[in-house]
Amino acid sequence: MSFSGTTKRELRLRFQQQRRVALTDVSASLLQIAQQQLPSAAAAPGRIGLYWPLQGEADLRPVASETLWDARLALPRVRGGALEYCPWSPQAPLDPDETGIPAPQGQTVLSAEQMSLLLVPALALDHQGIRLGYGGGWFDRLRADPTWRAVPALAVLPSACLVEALPADPWDVPFSGWIDEHGLHWIRS
């Protein structure tokens, strides 16, 4: 399917609806795949960056209840106009960050070297790893830094939102792969 001449704004509207419909059927399968396959994907020492789901996004927070993840989780927050990752456990209090999304309290900020894997929600993803998000650019700006780009990053979405190619801007940073209801998929460079 070709999206030439389609703006990213138009694609966002299309894929928000498509993802919402697809997740009603596959969200349980996607979570089950995450519970089964993330342990091997995040085998390297370091924290796993989850995300606090917005309405219509796959919710992977239940993986936090597994003892395997104790002291290994992190959540992003926007502070000072930049995205950063902070340690998180399910019992920890959260406050809205600068974008209004629940995020860890406290001053501890993790470096890229302290992370082993980032999980990022996506509206759509193409086979080159170009992700369509909400347009804020938070993850692209973070991953523009070579140390953050070195951390494997997986988009999280239903397979109905995978496409051959999306329009890419110069600042788009390709993802390492994706996780959907069929499994965990790495993109070969």
pLDDT tens-place string over residues 89-98: 888 899 999 9
Sites in the chain below the pLDDT cut of 70: 1-2, 4-5, 66-70, 189
Compute the distance between CA of residue 121 and CA of residue 156 in angstroms, rounded to an integer.
5
134 CB burial (10 A radius; 0-12, 13-18, 19+): middle
Compute the distance between CA of residue 104 and CA of residue 92 in angstroms, rounded to an integer.
7
* Number of domain units in the chain: 1
**127: phi then psi, degrees, rounded to nearest 5:** -75, -10
pLDDT at position 63 is 84
Question: Does any domain span residue 35?
Answer: yes
Question: Does any domain span residue 4?
Answer: no
Question: Does any domain span residue 6?
Answer: no
Which DSSP helix (H) or strand (E) runs through 33?
Answer: helix 8-41
Q: Structural domain of residue 47, as residue ranges?
A: 12-169+176-186
Question: Does any domain span residue 1?
Answer: no
Question: Does any domain span residue 3?
Answer: no
pLDDT at position 68 is 64
Question: Does any domain span residue 109?
Answer: yes
123 CB burial (10 A radius; 0-12, 13-18, 19+): buried
Contacts of residue 2, defined as CB under 8 A and 6 or more positions apart, other chains included, come to 165
**Structure-block tokens of residue 92:** 């920890």
Task: For residue 113, give the DSSP letter.
Answer: G
Question: Does any domain span residue 7?
Answer: no
pLDDT at position 188 is 78
Compute the distance between CA of residue 64 and CA of residue 74 in angstroms, rounded to an integer.
10
Question: Does any domain span residue 133?
Answer: yes
**Would you tell me how many other CB atoms lie within 10 Å of the CB of residue 149?**
15
Does the pTM surpass 0.85? The reply is yes
pLDDT at position 90 is 87
pLDDT at position 70 is 65
pLDDT at position 43 is 75
Compute the distance between CA of residue 71 and CA of residue 64 in angstroms, rounded to an integer.
10
pLDDT at position 87 is 94
pLDDT at position 4 is 60
**Structure-block tokens of residue 159:** 């397979």
pLDDT at position 136 is 87
Q: CATH number of the domain that 45 lies in?
A: 3.40.50.10420
